[in-house]
Amino acid sequence: MMPLTIRALEKSYGGPPVLAGVDLDVPAGSLTAILGPSGCGKTTLLRLIAGFLTPDAGTIHLGEQLVASRTRSVPTARRNVGYVAQEGALFPHLDVAANISFGLPRARRRGGARVDDLLDLVGLEPSLARRSPHELSGGQQQRVALARALAPEPGVVLLDEPFSSLDAGLRGETGRAVVQALRAIDATAVLVTHDQAEALSLADQVAVMRSGRLVQVGAPQALYEAPTDRGVAEFVGAAVVLPATWRDGAAECALGVLPVSVPNGLHPTAVMVRPEQLLLVAPDRAGVRGTVSEVSYYGHDASVRLVLEGSRSEVVARVRGSDAPTPGSLVGVSVDGAARAL
């Protein structure tokens, strides 16, 4: 398994740039998720790595080998990449075993040992080997697609929104199975997705993409807790963002005075807390009070929309389902944990 290195990558389809200078390092044996809304260029980035497209500028290295630059492009067939397409894209004229062994040299296609190993790796029964793709469920098709991509032992595995066509329950389960298989063989992998929960829960590293640029790259927890701007903050989860002024290393905002560390050189104008950091207490137990305007009850938890006294700011708190207040009631609001400067 190899690291993947991307430097200053640019691409346009004749119009405005789709990728405007992308730098990314994917360490060997790790899974990086490219997270972004549709149209941000993440699929283009994946197709450039795969070699379906050639860049206008910049370089892509697989391990030590330069595979793509403006002047040089190794054809996909010789890049040794694994590719899992959006809907699996199993060959409809071949059965599961023939699909999995498609990329193996002719001599190794005979004898099903490798097929059985790979089916086992992705958590499928060996009895599926003789099935046709249309006899499989969506989740099974995706697992076979992964097994097929892993069969020739690629240097890097590319997954293009592989779970987006599955329904919610199957999505989580298939995602975990796929990641387990990738970790079991220590694969380097790039996963493109627009689903933040998927990116945070499956990846070692998340790269948030916006308008053809990577705006923040980091471990899932770092990204969620310390987003660098409001866009990232709101894209990777729900966020309460309030305008603030700074005095003596603390931020003054509608939620009171919050201790916030500001990295050198930044001039923040707002603070951000996550809804689960807001604690609802008795009105007399907190400095800030608010009136409950709306409660969305989900069972395990509830989102509570509040209008704060004084500033009339609207904030959202997430509480345990059993702790949900009734609309119209007055509650005290306190902040648990650190707020972030934006």
Task: Identify the residue among 2, 31, 81, 214 touching another protein (CB under 8 A).
Answer: 81
Applying CB under 8 A, among 12, 69, 76, 313 the residue interacting with another protein is 76
Q: Is 134 helix (H, G, I), strand (E, B) or coil?
A: helix
Backbone φ and ψ for 110, nearest 5 degrees, come out as -70, 155
Nearest residue (CB) to another protein, 188 versus 216: 188
Give the residue with the Cβ less far from another protein, 157 or 200. 157
Of residues 126-155, those binding another protein (CB under 8 A): 145, 148-149, 151-152, 154
Angle, vertex CA 32, rays to CA 154 and CA 214, nearest 5: 125
Considering the complex, what minimum distance in angstroms separates the CB of residue 105 from another protein? 9
**156 half-sphere exposure, CB direction, 13 A CA radius:** 28
Residue 105 DSSP one-character state: -
- CB 177 to another protein: min, Å: 20
Per CB under 8 A, the segment of 71-79, 135-143, 199-207, 214-222 that binds another protein is 71-79
Provide the minimum distance between the beta carbon of 82 and another protein in the complex, in angstroms, as a whole number. 7
Let me know: does 32 contact 206? Beta carbons within 8 Å: yes
- By CB under 8 A, the count of residues binding another protein is 28
Q: Phi, psi at residue 335, to the nearest 5°?
A: -105, 130
Q: Which two three-digit tokens encode residue 275?
A: 């809804």
Tell me the torsion sign for CA atoms 257, 259, 265, 270.
negative
Pick one of 30, 43, 44, 80: the residue that binds another protein (CB under 8 A).
Answer: 80
Q: 87: helix, coil or strand?
A: coil
Which residues in 5-64 contact another protein (CB under 8 A)? Answer: 50-52
Q: Which of 195, 197, 158, 194 is nearest to 178 (CA)?
A: 158
CB distance 17 to 176 below 8 Å: no
Determine the Cα–Cα distance for residues 134 and 95; give it in Å rounded to an integer.
Answer: 9
CA distance 331 to 333: 7
270-273 and 240-243 beta bridge pairing: antiparallel
| Smaller CB separation from another protein, 86 or 313 | 86
Query: From residue 182 to residue 221, what is the string marking binding to another protein with x (rule CB under 8 A)?
Result: ----------------------------------------
For the CB of residue 65, give the shortest distance to another protein in the complex, in Å. 15
Q: Does 102 bind another protein (CB under 8 A)?
A: yes
Taking the complex as a whole, the smallest distance from the CB of residue 150 to another protein amounts, in Å, to 11
User: Among 70-78, 117-125, 183-191, 312-320, which window interacts with another protein (CB under 8 A)?
Assistant: 70-78
Query: Least separation, in Å, of the C-beta of 88 and another protein?
Result: 9
C-alpha closest to that of 236 among 35, 32, 34, 22? 35
Q: How far apart are CB 83 and another protein at their closest, in Å?
A: 3
Interface with another protein (CB under 8 A): 50-52, 75-83, 85-87, 89, 91-93, 102-103, 145, 148-149, 151-152, 154, 158
